[in-house]
Amino acid sequence: MDALKKNPAWKGRKGPLVLVIMDGVGLGKYKEGDAVLDSKMYNLAAIRGKSLFTTLKAHGKAVGLPSDDDMGNSEVGHNAMGCGRVFSQGAALVCAALESGAMFAAKAWREVVDGVKAGGGTLHFIGLFSDGNVHSHLDHLKGMIRRAKQDGVGKVRVHTLLDGRDVPETSALLYIDEFETFLKGLCDGSFDARIASGGGRMWITMDRYGADWEMVRRGWNVHVHGEGRPFASAREAVETYRRETPGVIDQDLKEFVVRENGRPVGTIEDGDSVVYFNFRGDRALEITAAFEQDGFNKFDRGRRPSVCYAGMMEYDGDLHAPRRYLVSPPAIDRTMGEYLAASGVRTLAISETQKFGHVTYFFNGNRTGKFDEKLETYIEIKSDVLPFEQRPWMKCAEISDYLLEAIPSGNYDFIRLNYPNGDMVGHTGVYEAVVCSLEAMDLQLGRLARAVDEAGGILLITADHGNSDDMFEHDKKTGAVQFHPDGTPKAKTSHSLNPVPCVIYDSGYSGEYKNGPNSLKQGLGISSIAATCIELLGFVPPDDYDTSLLERN
């Protein structure tokens, strides 16, 4: 990797460039349900008032997703910001592999199918059960089940991770009913496909970053051993839990096992095959480790079946996990982090556990580890292990405490951080908690701005996608808020399609760029953050990076 070229017109700054990523903070379309607008974010407003400003696209094609109807997410958002270009991402790659048939011609699929055909075993699918297109899509699952039947597989079992996070919060039965109809249309004397188990995505299986392995243990026991509360069907399970716990949303539903004649219909046994059909990696790695690792020690797996396991994609290119995958991920190279390391830039990346991987692994193009141990420092602040609405301030103060020492230390040229508040609390659907989380974050923005100012640095504030800016369900045609029968607004827990802010506060500006007052380039996406940061560090961006937001003299 060659070093970046210096920009001879850059006069330099005494302090570091600090990139703040306000996770899940967009610029809302509707006044009602916009927790960002409703929050008293006085510090952000004050910073914006004396800074350059623009809005950035953070969803759809601007971050490599199939269409502009697709909401952005933290993974593709950090990929785009860190690599400075737009790569086709998980959903687009899977769709292409399905449509072309390349998935089914590949070795991994043949191994999955041939294994169960040879021994009369069962093909199991585990994954997020919705069409949110952030972690998975039911169309992908349906396409694989159709092909499995065509390829001669006789028995399929589906283990459902209920969503209510990237889709409406209580939509599970809509997906379950439609899917049961789909399976019924396929089943005949030679083919048997059923839902076997499930539970909410924030209760079983889909933990990430080692935050709560107990989630994975519960999922393992449900999917593999058939251990959990028994029901005659997935519908019965959802209806029962909703009746017993009024107000519970899909992502928090407890685990269930479908039983028939007193026995689970779909335990995972020796000789079976398992496909984890999520295409996104962060919430796939832990259950993958439980299936694949011989020296696994995070919980007692009990009986570990000998199976042919495959992920939808390679979830970690450095760890090569899983060992078998159906679709190759985008090959992201020459990220900003790699260029900065080659150029001698001293870097600090920091967040709490929930988003630590985003400012490291995803920001670096799905790469584990550092480019240069001497130049890079990664700091993880441990997240609380409890529902985020109970601690909506999360760890933003602790992150800031560390930064208030790091910024004036002289040890770093570039600092990047993620405040998870707007996204993680936004997903709970608890409006008051979201407002609290944003106002807590705003206090920290004020602290950072003062520290950057005193150190003579530059502060760049942006976001990876929207979420907390769109907390109520709205009618798609009229924009009117949707209400429950009791008169309360229907909470929206998924990401938004809204643009995100971009603010550059540089009190030491001395003529290096010529943007007019309060204006940066318009109409760009968050992939332009990389070239912008490179310019603010005094270098010339690579020619093929998406354009900087700055107008250079």
Give catalytic residue positions: 74
The CA-atom distances, in angstroms, between 50 and each of 21, 458, 505, 521, 543 are 19, 13, 7, 17, 31
Backbone angles phi, psi at 199, to 5 degrees: 160, 170
Torsion sign over Cα 475, 476, 478, 480? positive
DSSP 198-262: EEETTTSS---TTS-HHHHHHHHHHHTT--S-EESSHHHHHHHHHHHSTT--GGGPPPEEEEETT
Rounded Cα–Cα distance for residues 506 and 509 (Å):
6
**What is the residue type of 249?**
I
Rounded Cα–Cα distance for residues 290 and 225 (Å):
13
Torsion sign over Cα 241, 245, 247, 249? negative
SS3 string, 117-165, reads HHHCCCEEEEEECCCCCCCCCHHHHHHHHHHHHHCCCCEEEEEEEECCC
Query: What does the block give as tokens for 1?
Result: 């990797």
Query: What does the block give as tokens for 52?
Result: 């350059």
Cα of 102 vs its chain's centroid, Å: 26
End-to-end CA distance of the chain: 28
Neighbours of 374 (CB within 10 A): 9
Query: What does the block give as tokens for 46?
Result: 């004050």
Rounded Cα–Cα distance for residues 424 and 543 (Å):
36
Rounded Cα–Cα distance for residues 439 and 40 (Å):
6
